[in-house]
A and B are shown apart, each in its own frame.
Chain A
Amino acid sequence: MNVTLAIFKKEFKALFYSPIAYIVIFVFLGITGWFFTSSLFEVGIVSMRGAFEIISFILLFFIPAITMRTFSEEKRSGTIEMLLTKPVTEMQIIAGKFFATLAFTALAIAPTLIYLISLLFLGSVDIGIIISSYIGLLFVCAVYISCGIFASSLTENQIIAFIISFLIIFALFILNKVLIFFPVFLTSFLEYLSTDYHYMNMSRGVIDTRSIIYFVSAILIFLLLARIPLEKRKW
């Protein structure tokens, strides 16, 4: 079996060993369910907009919580030494962990499809918008996860990893909402750096190549950054 695939499988399974995963999924579905049903029944709108908006907010806490242990735990317990004395490259380890966490996140989001199915019975839904929203959501998750993995590679303390990744993710999230505080010539650049700006576009049904480029390069940058602290032992 491919080494990256072996690490992926192991990490994916490991996410289910820890109670954090179950707590996070439980809270995640509880909150999104509440926001979805309240807009449905109280306002009477057949839309997933409310659910998608709250999901992108919950991810700010959800992703740091599930990524904080990826490398911190291996560093604290010393298993990183065992792993890095096997014929495995740092990048294979990072990729395995990244895709495992992404798959786990997708699995946590998947039950929200029930909302979609229930909407289909209630009225006409713009499926295109919902598909592009889900794609956007997965990209946002992927960016946050790579950021969380980077934060986790910096320290052996999970709490510190959580805080660092939360701060970076929060900055990426908030950037397009605080543009008025920046000089005008910077605004379009800063807006482009904001994950939420691209996510908003996609949740309106716009799949722009600029956004795709943004997401992919953000993921790669964070994953490559995560390699640096792992290689520090070689300096």
Chain B
Amino acid sequence: MSIKLENLTKYYGDQLAVNNISFEISSGEIVGFLGPNGAGKTTTLRMITTFLSPTSGNIFVDGINAAIDPLKVRRKIGYLSEQNPLYNDMNVVDFLVYNARLQMISEDRIKNAVDKMVNVCGLKEVKHKDIRELSKGFRQRVGLAQAMIHDPEILLLDEPTSGLDPNQILEIRKLIKELGRKKTLVLSTHILQEVQAVCDRIIIIHKGEIKADAKPEDLQKEIQGQNVIKLSLRYNKKVSTENLTSEFKSINGVESVSVREDKQANLWEIEIKSSKSIDAREEVFKRVIKLGLEMIEMKQVEASLEDIFRKLTN
């Protein structure tokens, strides 16, 4: 099940929300749709679901033009919207049965489909509760269950973990990863770890335009030009800051050293940047010993997606 967007543009009145974006997602891919708030992620997803129509451009889902046969497209898609709106008055099972009927699942298969969703999404303990009584984590599970009740081949999830506590986030992420295994999955988010944890392709969108479209590893490589070592040393008045700086600078390959004194914690916080080919950690350790200082912490920092994200969207 592929999704293909061709020169998609969306205006809300005069305001440009999505500006001429094109990409193709092939069957079975897990794609992270990344961007700051207001970048156009939700608008794009809504257009794929045919909830919104693009101002111009085309969407093809499995070769079907969304503008021409929206109902057929909707049948192939499971969608969890950002606010995850649910009918609070209904209980979980009734709600899922209703959704199954809207998806035109035949009556004799509905019970099976609902039971399956209750199992897969871990809703057993709440299945007879009214939705209004559920915690945010369970609401999200119900949202996922309604999106997948008809076993769609494409799953679009708009910020599926927003507003959850850390434990719930991990649970939902795990669930998504399991569910997404056999499906084409598009996940919109502004949380970077989520993309790193789940996706095998990232599309970064900013101000309605695509800024990057690559694998997470490739994106990371792109930004890595340097190794960065972060070092914390116990402050010792016998050694001056200048002394320290020049000592580390004299290591072969080190490009810059910045030393900051943290009086409160009685520490030096030092950042040493070296060219990419060189691992200066060993030499740094030796110099610290030579100066007779105590090392609290040393780590080599990899350029993270966050850096890429900030670079691309600033």
Contact = CB atoms under 8 A, between A and B. Distances in A.
B51 A6 contact: no
Given A81-B85, A85-B79, A86-B74, A3 B51 contact: no
Contacts of A89: 71
A185 B102 CA distance: 50
Interface string B62-100: 000000000110110101010101111110000000110
A52 B85 CA distance: 41
Interface in B45-60: 46, 49-53
A220 interface: no
A14 B75 contact: no
B124 interface: no
B89 A81 contact: no
A contact patch SS: helix
Contacts of B79: 82, 85
Given A87-B74, A87-B75, A77 B85 contact: yes
Contact of B51 (A14, A77, A79, A233): A233
A85 B80 CA distance: 10
Interface string A197-235: 000000000000000000000000000000000000111
B168 interface: no
B51 A81 contact: yes
Contact of A233 (B52, B71, B77): B52
Nearest to B82: A78
Interface in B13-52: 46, 49-52
Contacts of A85: 49-51, 74, 77, 79, 81
Most chain A CB within a 10 A radius of its CB, from B89, B99, B101: B101
A86 B83 contact: no
A213 B111 CA distance: 43
B103 interface: yes
Interface of B: 46, 49-53, 71-72, 74-75, 77, 79, 81, 83, 85-90, 98-99, 101-104, 107, 146
Interface of A: 1, 3, 6-7, 10, 14, 17-18, 77-79, 81-89, 233-235
10 A-B pairs with least C-beta separation: A78-B85, A6-B101, A17-B89, A234-B53, A86-B102, A79-B85, A85-B49, A87-B71, A87-B75, A87-B74
17 contacts: A3-B104, A10-B98, A79-B86, A81-B46, A81-B85, A82-B81, A82-B86, A82-B146, A83-B102, A85-B51, A85-B74, A86-B99, A86-B102, A88-B71, A233-B51, A233-B53, A234-B52
